Amino acid sequence: MDLVLVWFIAIAILWTGYFVLEGFDFGVGVLLPSVGRNDTGRRVMINAIGPVWDGNEVWLITAGGAMFAAFPAWYASLFSGLYLFLLLILLALIVRGVAFEYRGKGDTDRWRAWWDRAIIVGSAVPAALWGVIFANIVRGVGMDADHTVTSGMADLLNPYALLGGVTTLSLFTLHGAVFLTLKTQGAVRGRARRAATRSAAVALPATTAFLLWTQAAHGKPWTLPLVVLACVSLFASVLLAMRRREGWSFTATAVTVLALSVALFGALFPNVLPSTTDPAHSLTVHNAASARYTLTVMSWVGVVFLPVVLAYQAWSYWVFRKRVTPQQVDPGSEDTTDHDPTAGKGTATT
């Protein structure tokens, strides 16, 4: 068995799972000021992702750890060359996590407003920068024979990477809006439905353009069906959201994120970090990989523990599957705006 290929696929799966699950978390945070117009609405939004957001970040930790162990040269070059972007993401995630925990510790509007801003920034920054980073990974960076990245900030902020940032930010925002229509009730649900339509006005053209550019410049014949699938499912998600088929709409946005991620990793393979200076300097799955013994040990650890983690996360999503209502976070609230005719239903439906 080619363990190098197995671990490249495993890392692609881990990153894909992270983008699908954490993507709607980021979207909810970005939409906090527009969909949650008062404290009750914002508490409904935060409670909708409260039981799962920290578990979703486990995918990021696992993906980073797998890259470090299976492809140390890839990890080293990536973090040395894109350290500023990655540092900003790390700081944003720290601030975001602290904000979720501390927002409810104070009783003043000013206290909550500052933590709300931290949630918004801590969600928007990673949502945009992950697109910039992965666009640069697929496109390639300047790299010498020692695999030291020589690209400056002007090179990294190229048009393709910037389009990637707009794509992930708008797509995750749409993903989060659809998630809120599935998981909330009342005024938040109505505003989230309208937010989905507005965010789709950016996500549809940006995602389509980015996917077509990726396919034309870096794609392979077998990645073309993934590009088509992503575009079709994205368009379908908007139509389904307008028809109030929230479950199917969320599934469609998840398929879009999944197909986009797999298409990027497919376009990247067999490289893990191409060199725009000289193709001979590129990092590939083989010259960046660890020894076979390391990959073997990692494989046995993954076989034992990965099913346990997946089962636990699936169980947590099942336990917290019901919609969040304003009355749950504030028993004295009267949610009379944006009347929803399905408000009496207690669970998320398709």
pLDDT in tens, 298-310: 999 888 888 888 8
Q: Cβ(178)–Cβ(249) under 8 Å? A: yes
**pTM, rounded to two decimals:** 0.91
* Poorest-pLDDT segment among 76-85, 103-112, 199-208: 103-112
Average model confidence (pLDDT) for the chain? 89
Per-residue pLDDT, 328 = 77
The larger pLDDT score, comparing residue 82 to residue 107, is at: 82
Confidence band for 119, pLDDT divided at 50, 70 and 90 = very high
* Cross-strand pairs, 141: 275
- Antiparallel, parallel or unpaired: β 283-284 and 271-273: antiparallel
Which of 1-5, 14-18, 54-58, 145-149 has the highest mean predicted lDDT (pLDDT)? 14-18
pLDDT digits (tens, 9 = 90+) for 131-156: 999 999 999 999 988 888 989 898 99
The Cα 129–Cα 120 span in angstroms is 14
Phi, psi values for residue 273, rounded to 5°: -155, 95
- What are the Cα distances from residue 305, in Å, to 173, 270, 302? 32, 27, 5
pLDDT the model gives residue 109 = 84
Instruction: Give the pLDDT mean for 270-285.
Output: 93
Cis peptide before 270 (omega within 30 of 0): yes
Instruction: Write the burial class of residue 292 (CB in 10 Å: 0-12 exposed, 13-18 middle, 19+ buried).
Output: exposed
Structural domains in the chain, sorted by start: 3-321 (1.20.1630)
In the prediction, which pLDDT does 148 show? 87
Confidence of residue 67 (pLDDT cuts 50, 70, 90): very high
Residue 333: per-residue pLDDT = 59
Average pLDDT over residues 84-95: 95
User: Which band of pLDDT confidence, cut at 50, 70 and 90, is reported for residue 334?
Assistant: low
User: Does the pLDDT value for residue 115 go beyond 90?
Assistant: yes
Give the closest residue to 41 by CA, choosing from 193, 191, 194, 199. Answer: 191
**Token digits for 133?**
């980073």
CA distance 259 to 167: 14
Stretch 260-284: mean pLDDT, rounded? 94
- Per-residue pLDDT of 200-249, as tens digits, reads 999 999 999 999 999 999 999 999 999 999 999 999 999 998 888 999 99
